[in-house]
Amino acid sequence: MRVVAVYKQNTDHTRAVETFLEDFARRTGKALDTLDPDSIEGEIFCRAHDIVEYPTIIALSNESQMLSVWRGAIMPTISEVSYYASQD
């Protein structure tokens, strides 16, 4: 499985997302993938998964099917996301 955090740099929510990512890595020992929706790769990814709100954290199966999604400024709990990040 793959968990991706999609967020824009230099916005009101950047610090909250980066703090969540740092806490997640420290507590789980795993790093989440990140994408900037303004990059070419990020734009393609967002179109494919219908992501229009930032920040968004999305959990995908190995076949790229959406398993769970968290949208907006309120970050999910680390345990919610770690379930998907620990499944390989």
Residue 18 tokens, joined: 């980066």
Number of domain units in the chain: 1
Supply the range of the domain harboring residue 67.
Answer: 2-86
pLDDT attached to residue 73: 87
Q: What is the CATH number of the domain that holds 79?
A: 3.40.30.10
Contacts of 75 (CB under 8 A, 6+ apart): 16, 17, 20, 55, 57
Q: pLDDT-based confidence at 17, cuts 50/70/90? A: very high
pLDDT attached to residue 29: 94
* Residue 44 clears pLDDT 80, i.e. is over it: yes
* Stated pTM of the model: 0.91
The interaxial angle of helices 14-28 and 78-86, nearest 10 deg, is 60
